[in-house]
Chain A
Amino acid sequence: GAVVSQHPSRVICKSGTSVKIECRSLDFQATTMFWYRQFPKKSLMLMATSNEGSKATYEQGVEKDKFLINHASLTLSTLTVTSAHPEDSSFYICSARVRLKNTEAFFGQGTRLTVV
């Protein structure tokens, strides 16, 4: 089956620093990847849609300068949380859509970000 690998699984960073999270599709090409944020005991909130070779599309209310998304290849998208603050602490999950199959996406295992 399609495998999506997300790295790191956990990261602790100091307030004011930036942290990068990687999302890789290991055995398929993903033209589109999605980034979600999940607060404790809450549902997943779509942050942005990442398209290979073009700018990401951000959902309303998501700061594009705070959450930088790059989708440089068909197998890799990155989310960089810039100038992180404690309120950015959350669980971030990516998903990747199989190329030419528009109706299903596969999820990474998530990244727990803690900003101290």
Chain B
Amino acid sequence: AQSVTQPDIHITVSEGASLELRCNYSYGATPYLFWYVQSPGQGLQLLLKYFSGDTLVQGIKGFEAEFKRSQSSFNLRKPSVHWSDAAEYFCAVGLSNTGKLIFGQGTTLQVKP
């Protein structure tokens, strides 16, 4: 069965520090992978996506993610975190035949001044 695991429920980093949020997936076919960010009481904003091609994907707000097929991972990174990055981050795998998204449990990012 398809699944997405985000091992870190909560992460706290200092402003200006680097960030890596982990995501592992289980999916039999070629995955379509996404990272979304959600601010409290808001919908989801797409940060970046991987469909094919270059395994290092650039997104908005200075985020990037790297697809590693051998590790079934799609970790999100940012070299320098800003206080406005504090939010909930969701990794998701898209099922190619239906368009459904399977979400991970989410990681809450807290940014210390």
Contacts and interface: CB of A to CB of B under 8 A. Distances in A.
B99 A44 contact: no
A102 interface: yes
- At the interface, is chain A mostly helix, strand, loop or mixed? strand
Interface stretch (B16-24, B67-75, B102-110): B102-110
Nearest to B98: A49
Contact of A103 (B42, B43, B51, B102): B51
Interface residues on A, range: 20 to 34
A104 interface: yes
B30 to A, nearest CB: 11
CB-based closest 4 A-B pairs: A109-B43, A107-B44, A110-B43, A97-B99
Contact of A34 (B45, B90, B99, B105): B99
Contacts of A97: 99
A95 B94 contact: no
Given A95-B101, A103-B99, A43 B43 contact: no
Interface string A96-116: 010000111111111010000
Contact of A104 (B42, B45, B49, B102): B49
B63 to A, nearest CB: 17
Q: How large is the interface on B (under 10, 10 to 19, 20 to 34, 35 or more residues)?
A: 20 to 34
A105 B93 CA distance: 12
B99 A46 contact: no
Contacts of A102: 96, 99
Query: Which among B43, B49, B101 has the highest number of chain A CB atoms within 10 Å?
Result: B43
B49 A34 contact: no
Nearest to A108: B43
A71 to B, nearest CB: 14
Interface centre among A43, A91, A95, by most B CB within 10 Å?
A43
A103 B94 contact: yes
A93 interface: yes
Given A43-B90, A103-B94, A104-B49, A110 B103 contact: no
